[in-house]
């Protein structure tokens, strides 16, 4: 398996939402079975693609890859093939420096509702590097013909969406749906999931009616406080593209730990350095 195949598998893992670690031989000393530049992909279940040399050394690289996936930190590790006490074959007599780099799951944007705003939002999310899943109960809108090049299309009622996708700390859900009955069906499952962002398009009155209906179903105010409604930052947005921008600005702000305040600065360089 050559390096190009490993890189293609890395790309596919990222697109499908699978965390992997990439091990690359940086340099070798003495006799080693693989050369600098050799690559191996390590999946979260311990399976691999490619090789950095096999044997006991490769087994150790796999363990370091799994450790990198667990803590999210890359590492440079030196391995030798001449220490019999550590299980090395003792025949190559060489050593290698291998860089192990974790590639976490891409942030996933789930767009529920594929109308004008949903289409603009999905396209902007894809441009910003998110893995984008779109969903609608109207098959003609939730399709590659209507919104090309998305990572997934889920034709289903809103109440079924949460059961059809993984809901993780890297999942951002934007509900740009059509009305109150949809909201009531959608939110109970989302509110019990460990996702960092749930947003609902619409007016304050729409959200107030949704809150009332959900409270009658036993959903607590504490849970409902997690919902960003109305969705997005206040930009006085009007067009679907402007509304999409306000939504993605809010998502990026929360993901990166921003506060949404203007960055404008008026003052001297000395005052700026003191901040």
Domains of the chain: residue spans and CATH: 3-103 (no CATH), 108-256 (3.40.50.720)
Q: How many Å apart are CA 56 and CA 87, to the nearest integer?
A: 6
Nearest to 87, CA basis, from 47, 113, 66, 59: 59
**Residue with the larger pLDDT of the pair 142 and 54:** 142
Mean pLDDT for the stretch of residues 219-237: 93
CB 88 within 8 A of CB 80: yes
Whether residue 221 is predicted with pLDDT greater than 70 in this model: the reply is: yes
pTM of structure: 0.75
Mean pLDDT, residues 172-189: 82
Specify whether the CB–CB gap between 133 and 150 falls below 8 A.
yes
Residue 53 CB burial class (10 angstroms; 0-12, 13-18, ≥19): buried
Contacts (Cβ under 8 Å, ≥6 apart) of 59: none
Query: Does position 89 have pLDDT exceeding 50, yes or no?
Result: no
pLDDT for the residue 180: 67
Higher pLDDT, 181 or 79: 79
């Amino acid at each position: 398996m050559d390096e190009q195949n490993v890189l293609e598998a890395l790309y596919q893992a990222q697109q499908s939402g699978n965390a992997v670690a990439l091990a690359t031989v940086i340099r070798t000393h003495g006799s080693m079975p693989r050369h600098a530049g050799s690559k191996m992909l390590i999946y979260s279940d311990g399976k691999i693609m490619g090789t950095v040399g096999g044997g006991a050394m490769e087994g150790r690289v796999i363990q370091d890859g799994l450790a990198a996936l667990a803590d999210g930190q890359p590492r440079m590790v030196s391995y030798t093939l001449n220490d019999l006490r550590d299980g090395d074959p003792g025949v190559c007599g060489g050593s290698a420096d291998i860089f192990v780099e974790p590639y976490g799951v891409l942030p996933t944007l789930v767009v529920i509702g594929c109308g004008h705003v949903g289409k603009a939002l999905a396209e902007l999310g894809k441009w910003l590097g998110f893995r984008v899943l779109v969903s609608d109960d109207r098959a003609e809108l939730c399709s590659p013909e209507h919104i090309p090049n998305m990572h997934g299309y889920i034709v289903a009622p809103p109440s079924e969406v949460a059961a059809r996708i993984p809901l993780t700390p890297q999942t951002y859900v934007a509900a740009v749906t059509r009305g109150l009955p949809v909201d009531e069906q959608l939110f109970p499952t989302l509110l019990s999931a460990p996702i960092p962002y749930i947003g609902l398009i619409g007016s304050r009155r729409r959200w107030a009616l949704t809150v009332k209906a959900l409270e009658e179903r036993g959903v607590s105010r504490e849970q409902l406080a997690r919902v960003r409604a109305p969705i997005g930052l206040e930009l006085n947005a009007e067009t679907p593209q402007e509304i999409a921008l306000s939504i993605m600005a809010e998502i990026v702000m929360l993901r990166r730990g921003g506060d949404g305040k203007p960055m404008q600065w008026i003052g001297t360089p000395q005052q700026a350095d003191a901040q």
